[in-house]
Copies of this chain bind each other. A is one copy, B any other.
Amino acid sequence: VDSTRDRLVDAAARLLDEGGPAAVTLRQVGTLAGVSHNAPYKHFADKQDLLAAVAARELVAQQAAMARLSRGRRSPAEVVRGLMHGYVRWGTRHPARFKLTFGSWTNDSPELAQAATAARTAFVAAVAAAQDDGALPPGDPDRMTALLPAAAHGAVDLALAGHLSPGGKGRATPDDLVDDLLDHLISSPSRRGARASERR
């Protein structure tokens, strides 16, 4: 219905992908959307408000991808591992969107908060199922659901900054670290070794 607004968000996302946050100038956004350089102010209070809309859209898309991935997998442990690798893949492929979406928002739009909660719910459910299955150690699922994404997030963020394996010798990728962590957490010895075949 609000086509102009969508085109503005599209343009902002494209500029973000191409040149990072600094490249998202309202003048370029306006030009790409076919309006003047200050038309965005009729749809968004701020430049930050526009970026928050981009983040919210990305978060909704990611939640949909997670829900899609949660179906069609076999064991809960495979679902959790797939979600982790999906997060890594998304962050690695779209660094600018990744940093924006999970960076600090001074903006507290309800649209954003709702998308974040929805995306989180799918992950909590997968973790709880894996715990019930005995594939993950027991304990507060909220705690485990904080630890696992934190590790994946940190691995991606450090890798993007070039801080993961400095000498270029170890060459530990974020995917490697995710597998290492899950291997350490998955207690059942019979589960080990099935790692490679589960990856995508």
Contacts and interface: CB of A to CB of B under 8 A. Distances in A.
Given A102-B158, A142-B169, A170-B140, A150 B164 contact: yes
B170 A102 contact: no
A147 B103 CA distance: 21
Interface stretch (A9-17, A75-83, A127-135, A177-185): A177-185
A73 interface: no
B143 A154 contact: no
Chain A, interface residues (CB within 8 Å), range:
35 or more
Interface string A95-113: 1000000111100000001
A140 B146 CA distance: 26
A104 B158 CA distance: 8
Contacts of A117: 166-167
Interface in A151-181: 151-155, 157-158, 160-167, 169-170, 172, 174, 176-177, 180-181
A157 to B, nearest CB: 6
A142 B102 contact: no
A120 B181 contact: no
Interface in A113-147: 113, 116-117, 120, 137, 139-140, 142-144, 146-147
Interface string A3-37: 00000000000000000000000000000000000
Contacts of A137: 184
